[in-house]
Amino acid sequence: MRTGFQNMHSALRSLGIVVAIVVFGCGETKTPTQESIAKPPSKASIKRAYTMKCSLCHGSNGKLMASNAPDLSQSKLDLDSRIALITYGKGMMPPQRGVLDAATIRGIAEYIETFREP
């Protein structure tokens, strides 16, 4: 009788450990980075980030050319080069790494393509 109770008790305890591992395992896979990949920034938030971080020098249509900034409507850079330049900065242009998340930087790089004129 007593042994039976003890067996059940230890069985419940190991079940508890298994449950803890499963719960902890799930918690671990759900990092903020993966959440932002699952939920991309909206067009509105990308435009807002451009206005706050970029329009000071480039203007709302890319043509302002303040602080010697080049006219973005004439830019010939490909998408990857633009993402790298926005991430790491160049000359007078401030880096956005650690300021904007990667998905927003990519979104802005795509957004400024719409400024491009043939």
Contact residue for ligand HEC among 4, 91, 98, 118 (CB under 6 A): 91
Number of other residues whose CB lies within 10 A of the CB of residue 71: 15
The Cα 18–Cα 24 span in angstroms is 10
What lies within 8 Å, CB to CB, of 50 at 6+ separation is: 108, 111, 112
Contact residue for ligand HEC among 36, 61, 73, 75 (CB under 6 A): 75
**97 sits near ligand HEC (criterion: CB under 6 A):** no
CB 100 within 8 A of CB 110: no
Nearer to ligand HEC, 41 or 82 (CB): 82
**93 sits near ligand HEC (criterion: CB under 6 A):** yes
Closest CA to 74 of 102, 116, 42: 116
Q: Which stretch binds ligand HEC (CB under 6 A): 12-20, 21-29, 30-38, 77-85?
A: 77-85
Closest CA to 107 of 43, 16, 14: 43
Nearer to ligand HEC, 4 or 91 (CB): 91
Q: Which of residues 33-72 bind ligand HEC (CB under 6 A)?
A: 53-54, 56-58, 67-70, 72
Residues making contact with ligand HEC (CB under 6 A): 53-54, 56-58, 67-70, 72, 75, 77, 82, 85-86, 90-94, 96, 108, 112
